[in-house]
Amino acid sequence: MKRLSHRWNVSSRREFFTQAGSGLAGMALASMMAKADPGPHHAAKAKSVIFLFMEGGPSHIDLFDPKPKLKDLAGQKVPASYGKLITAMGTGNNTIMPSTREFKQHGQAGTWVSDWYPEIAKHVDDIAVLRSCWADGLNHVGSVCQMNTGDVLAGRPSLGAWTTYGLGTANKNLPSFVVMADDREPLGGAKNWSSGFLPAKLAGSQFRTGDVPILNLRPPVEVSDARQRSKIAFLKELNAGYGAAHTDDSELDARVQSYELAYEMQSAGYEAVDLTKETEATKKLYGMDDPDLLSFGRNCLLARRLVERGVRFVELYCGSGSGWDAHANIEGNHTKWCRVSDRPIAGLLTDLKSRGLLKDTLVVWGGEFGRTPFNEKGNGRDHNPWGFTMWFAGGGIQPGITVGSTDDIGLRTVERPAHVHDIHATILHLLGLDHLRTTYLHNGRAERPTITSGEVVKELLG
């Protein structure tokens, strides 16, 4: 102890441990108090994210991960060598069910894509396919929540909220984080784009379907700009008086800022969502000439217009309310939703690339999980969180590659596993944020987007 005492300038064992403990406590406190200032931790490859969320669980083994072995095992029980299963609906008498789709290799990359996605298949040389994703939840509500927030339980901030927290906004008159669904509300609703314990102003703003995505954007004709401005100023004064006595209420601050943003959006917001300025050729590119594709096609076009104007994070739901959930009649279900999403997504990739936006925009495609290689109800597939596929394009992604793999029946990830936290860490990395350094003090703990795990999938990086 003499050597340590001399080095630490202490005179007793008790004093040594007191000072050492204080030092460690100080280090821990400094770590907890660390807060991500707006601005990247390293050079960003992407300025914006467009997350194409296929809600309900698209079947990887019918789209991007062909498994010839399934034909050899057709009609048989899943061999014990693949491990014990507890699925959302139970294994029951389910047997191996091969895919009926025709798979081909496409592009110079030779990426495998089924005939359900013929238009997206034309873009594989711009796409990186990740076949080894896995998650924790068995049901939709928890799994959709985890793909958005990192946790199957509600309450944590969404990835879009973390993005805005870490980087700040890139525009003054539009939200930084926008969410668009199709004809139904996503399961779990607003908790999927919540700010959680982060300041309430970071929550996603939901745009609606149809010709008026932003409700009540224009004031009545009899309300002049000066009158509108004075009303907001008066509200701000009232709120400031209340806020002075309730300094811990971030909801109030968010409400004040939402009024300010709403005022700014009365001109910029209307212009951003006004599709009359787009050519008929552009609308057709997104499939808007087809009534079945109109809703999602419009949202994809709006996503391009939003990232063009500095919106950092845009999330589009296709099949919101678990449309892709094919427990029965997977042929009918996936035929519908693949058709709804194929042309609009291909159009989005084409449009982004032709405008020079793809290099700065990270496009992410995926659902909350995949589907099982065995049947359910005879002609459907159960939920599969143990191995599924997502793909990425633009924004610093290495194009034309396939990363990771599932076993030979597509049940479990076997090569380069990528948990939801790894996927989130990778998205944040491409935006210039280190998920380990993006922290927020909550209940005495330095919280981060990936909770207590997660690593960047470096194989995806360009």
CA distances in angstroms from 38 to 167, 187, 423, listed in the order given: 4, 31, 22
- In this prediction, residues 76-80 reach a mean pLDDT of 93
d(CA 52, CA 450): 20
Strands 418-419 and 127-134 turn out to be parallel
Query: Global pTM?
Result: 0.85
Confidence of residue 237 (pLDDT cuts 50, 70, 90): confident
User: How high is the pLDDT of residue 209?
Assistant: 74
Displacement of CA 21 from its chain's centroid (Å)? 41
Confidence of residue 213 (pLDDT cuts 50, 70, 90): low
d(CA 280, CA 299): 16
Q: Is the pLDDT of residue 37 over 60?
A: no
DSSP string computed for 169-208? -S-SSS-SEEEE-SSSPPTTGGGGG--TTS-GGGSPEEEP
Q: Which of 370, 310, 360, 374 is nearest to 334 (CA)?
A: 370
User: How high is the pLDDT of residue 226?
Assistant: 76
d(CA 449, CA 158): 8
Confidence of residue 36 (pLDDT cuts 50, 70, 90): very low
DSSP H stretches of helix in 406-452: 420-430
Q: What is the pLDDT of residues 372-396, one digit of tens each?
A: 999 998 899 999 999 999 999 999 9
- In this prediction, residues 23-34 reach a mean pLDDT of 36
Percent of the chain, pLDDT > 70?
Answer: 81
- In this prediction, residues 129-144 reach a mean pLDDT of 97
Rounded to the nearest integer, the mean pLDDT of the chain is: 87
For the 49-215+279-460 domain, the top CATH level (class) is: alpha beta
Buried b (16+ CB within 10 A) or exposed e, 241-251: eebeeeeeeee
420 contact partners, CB below 8 Å, separation of at least 6: 133, 134, 135, 136, 146, 147, 150
Q: Is the pLDDT of residue 7 over 60?
A: no
14 contact partners, CB below 8 Å, separation of at least 6: none
Phi, psi (rounded to 5 degrees) for 310 = 95, 10
In 3-state terms, what secondary structure has residue 20? Answer: helix
Q: Are 385 and 136 in contact (CB under 8 A)?
A: yes
CA distances in angstroms from 253 to 19, 232, 257, 262, listed in the order given: 41, 14, 6, 14
**Annotated domain spans of the chain:** 49-215+279-460
Show the tokens assigned to 204: 């996603």
- In this prediction, residues 236-258 reach a mean pLDDT of 67
- In this prediction, residues 332-337 reach a mean pLDDT of 98
Q: Is the pLDDT of residue 434 over 70?
A: yes
User: How high is the pLDDT of residue 92?
Assistant: 66
Q: Which of 314, 292, 81, 379 is nearest to 176 (CA)?
A: 314
Confidence of residue 19 (pLDDT cuts 50, 70, 90): very low
Percent of the chain, pLDDT > 90?
Answer: 72
User: How high is the pLDDT of residue 171?
Assistant: 87
Q: Which of 460, 348, 376, 294 is nearest to 59 (CA)?
A: 376
Beta partners for 51? 315, 364
DSSP string computed for 331-399? HHHHHHHHHHHHHHHHHHHHHHHHTT-GGGEEEEEE-S-EEEEEEETTTEEEEE-SSEEEEEESTTB-T
Displacement of CA 342 from its chain's centroid (Å)? 19
Confidence of residue 25 (pLDDT cuts 50, 70, 90): very low
User: How high is the pLDDT of residue 233?
Assistant: 74
Go through the chain and tell me how many residues it has.
Answer: 462
Displacement of CA 208 from its chain's centroid (Å)? 18
Phi, psi (rounded to 5 degrees) for 205 = -100, 125
- In this prediction, residues 95-114 reach a mean pLDDT of 98
- In this prediction, residues 58-74 reach a mean pLDDT of 98
User: Does 86 or 152 have the greater pLDDT score?
Assistant: 152
- In this prediction, residues 116-142 reach a mean pLDDT of 97
Task: List the end-to-end C-alpha distance of the chain, in Å, as a whole number.
Answer: 52
d(CA 176, CA 173): 9
d(CA 74, CA 96): 5
Confidence of residue 339 (pLDDT cuts 50, 70, 90): very high
